[in-house]
Every structure is written in structure tokens, then in C-alpha cells.
Amino acid sequence: AYNHYIKSYPLLLKSSSQICESLGADAIPVIAHLAYGWMPTILSFHFNENMSRHLLNAYEVNNFQSGLSIVNALEFSPVNNSWVGLSKVLHFMNPEIFPIWDSKVAKNFGVSGHYKMKQKDIYIQYMKFVFSKLDLKVVSGVQQAFVSQVGYEVSQVRACEFILFTIAEEKL
């Protein structure tokens, strides 16, 4: 299952990009289904046209502050009321800006408890943390390892998140 997780990632990014290009704001629910197909949770979402248009902006942002503004403007996550699910949708739309947030990452980030994982402020702290670590040599090392070992490139954001996803005791 883990190998499939690694191999399916670039296909999900490519699909998300193509879906954004072809469907515009209508892409958001489709990408949410892709993200939830990648994880073991049933999808429910609370999108309206304004919410979808707002989230579509995530596809085009090109800097951390703009990405942070998109997250800050949300009162709640429209994807299962979960920052985990929304982080994956945002990441598939724009892996250069939005890190994936899940229980393994949260644990290694020092967040325990289901309640804390569901807080927007914690996800924002995590986003800031990831962006503060992008220039570390270990991040570029993980990027190089992806190319040499699995044959595709990942963003610095994905590499940093992947470190937190895979390590247990070591911290950045």
C-alpha cells in the first residue's frame, strides 16, 4: 500500500492541475474526491460557488503569503470540516505552497490529540514551520532521493512534509 501511495502522488498532482485548467471553480469538489481517494476517509464537503471560487485561487498563488491568505480567509474547512482533507486538496492544486497535514505529520510536529489537529491555527503554524525549513540541506536531499529512487520530482514543501510524515524521533 505504501508503494502505491508514493507512485500515485505525481499522477494526482498532474490530474489536479488538468482538472483546474479545464473546470475552473468546478474543479474543487473533483479534487476533493481525488484527495479522499488517496486516504481512508469518506468525503463530505460544504462547497458553494463562492467557496469554490475562493479555493480555486490556491491553484494560482505563487508565494507563501498569498497561500496563507487563502487559508486565513476560511472560517472552517469545507472538506469534511477537516484541515487534513483541505490540506490535501490545496496541496494537489499547488504543491509548491500548501503542505499536507495528517495525523503522522501532526505527531512528528508535536501535535497530539484529534481536537488540536482540527484547528485552523495549528495548520497555519505548521505551514509557517514548513516554509521556515525549506532551505535545509535535508529537504533538498529528500528531493534528490525522490528523483533517484522513484523517478519524479517533489516540491520543497512536499519534501519537508514527507520528512515529518516518515520520521518518528528526529525533528527538523
Distance (Å) of CA 138 to CA 7, 145, 149, 159, 172: 22, 10, 16, 9, 9
Task: Residue count of the chain, please give it.
Answer: 172
Q: What is the mean pLDDT of the chain?
A: 88
Q: Quick one: DSSP state of residue 45?
A: B
50 vs 42, which has greater pLDDT?
Answer: 50
Grid cell, residue 1, equals 500500500
**Pair 101, 39: CB distance under 8 Å:** no
Distance (Å) of CA 124 to CA 61, 87, 100: 16, 10, 12
CA distance 83 to 77: 6
Confidence label for 169 from pLDDT (cuts 50, 70 and 90): very low
74-97 confidence digits (pLDDT tens): 999 988 888 988 999 999 999 999
Side-chain half-sphere CA neighbours of 23 within 13 A: 18
**Pair 159, 146: CB distance under 8 Å:** yes
CA distance 81 to 97: 21
Average pLDDT over residues 122-139: 96
The answer to whether residue 170 scores a pLDDT higher than 60 is no
The answer to whether residue 130 scores a pLDDT higher than 90 is yes
Helices in the chain by DSSP H: which ranges? Answer: 2-23, 27-37, 49-60, 64-72, 83-93, 103-109, 114-117, 120-132, 137-150, 156-166
